[in-house]
Amino acid sequence: MKATIIQNISNQYKVVDELDKIHICTARGRLKNTTQILNKREQRALRVASNFGKINTLTPVAGDKVEIENDTIIKIYERTNYIKRPKIANVTQVVFVVSLKNPEPDLLMLDKQLAFSENMGLKSIIVLNKCDLEDGSELKELYEKVGYKVLEMQANKNIGIDALKQYLIGNITVFSGNSGVGKSTIINSLFGKNITDEGVVSEKNKRGKNTTTAVTLYELEKDTYIADTPGFSTFDINEIDYKNLDKEFKEFIPYIGECKYVGCSHIYEDEKECNIKRAVTEGKISKLRYDNFVKIYKELEENYKKRYN
Ligand SMILES: Nc1nc2c(ncn2[C@@H]2O[C@H](COP(=O)(O)OP(=O)(O)O)[C@@H](O)[C@H]2O)c(=O)[nH]1
Ligand SMILES: [Mg+2]
Ligand SMILES: [Zn+2]
């Protein structure tokens, strides 16, 4: 039967099947990328091959669509995407929560994470929370111009929650944002109960070691899940190829490919007749976004050089 993994604690998987029934499953050894169901002997051969790095095998993670048989996961269906830290598959959307005050908006972090989300091919929504403390209209306009859906919210009074809910239907959504911006408040408000405390499951396994859940998916409605994670790690973001960062800034795209120099990075002084820099000067691209692009580019470049030189 086909099912979705909604939680993973060490080698135990909580899985919901198509009839909405919950199973606690284990996985049958390593699973070959998507394809056939293997018998015990084939499993062993696969394990040997994968130990020698000859073949890629998969460990099931939250978000995976799987085939289960007698509460054993016997197959992982093809993933649309995979995020390494935290481990989660098949995410379709990210809600970026920014608080307008306490804490102040961290737009460099936001732009970094937006770029990563574009890179992963995910939909992005920006929530401007704590709009009781500060006016968010300028930020709303800025990011709407870029091309993002922006919602203003006061989560502690449930204001803006229903507007958000309609964008979640049919998605596996990850909430991302710095500590204190209001992620838990929003998620609890969506579910109408305190759900995020349950997410901090910490269990001792047989050897007495602490194991924490990597990710839990909460079902809001049928086929609609919210992932309880703190968002993406900088490790993942650092894997964006800095040379292609310009393409992850949505509003840059119409201007790319028109610079004088082939391979123009749109950064350096000596790159004359840069179409991106021209668009910034003419006010078609926001200076703030451009400046963050430069910072992120340099950071990624530096990390790349550290890794490979
Ligand atoms: N003033 C104000 N405070 C809020 C709002 N939303 C959440 N908070 C408060 O902000 C603090 C941090 O919220 P929390 O949901 O724990 O943030 P998280 O760390 O992102 O999960 C809590 O004290 C919330 O009550 C809001 O819209 N306005
Ligand atoms: Mg929280
Ligand atoms: Zn350029």
Per-residue pLDDT of 178-235, as tens digits, reads 999 999 999 999 999 888 665 443 334 444 444 455 688 999 998 899 997 766 776 6
Reduced to 3 states, what is the DSSP secondary structure of residue 178? coil
Which domains are seen in the chain, by residue range? 2-79 (2.40.50.140), 88-234 (3.40.50.300), 240-308 (1.10.40.50)
Using CB distances shorter than 6 Å, the residues near ligand 1 are: 129-130, 132-133, 154-156, 177, 179-185
**Given this model, what pLDDT does residue 53 score?**
56
Spacing, Cα 150 to ligand 2 middle (Å): 21
Reduced to 3 states, what is the DSSP secondary structure of residue 79? coil
Residue 67 near residue 35 (C-beta atoms within 8 A): no
Return the H-helix or E-strand segment holding 184: helix 183-191
**Given this model, what pLDDT does residue 95 score?**
96
**Given this model, what pLDDT does residue 209 score?**
45
Instruction: Give the tokens for residue 178.
Output: 């710095």
**What are the residues whose beta carbons fall under 8 Å from the beta carbon of 123, sequence distance 6 or more?**
92, 93, 94, 117, 171
Contacts by 271-276 with C-beta closer than 8 Å and gap 24+? 276/246, 276/252
Spacing, Cα 180 to ligand 2 middle (Å): 7
Q: What angle do CA 174, 166, 216 make, to 5 degrees?
A: 30
Q: What is the pLDDT of residues 240-294, one digit of tens each?
A: 899 999 999 999 999 999 999 999 999 999 999 999 999 999 999 999 999 999 9
Spacing, Cα 307 to ligand 1 middle (Å): 38
- pTM of the predicted protein model: 0.87
The ligand placed nearest to the CA atom of residue 199 is: 2
Q: Which residue is associated with the tokens 């509003």?
A: 251
Peptide bond into 105 cis (omega under 30): no
| Distance separating alpha carbons of residues 202 and 204, to the nearest angstrom | 7
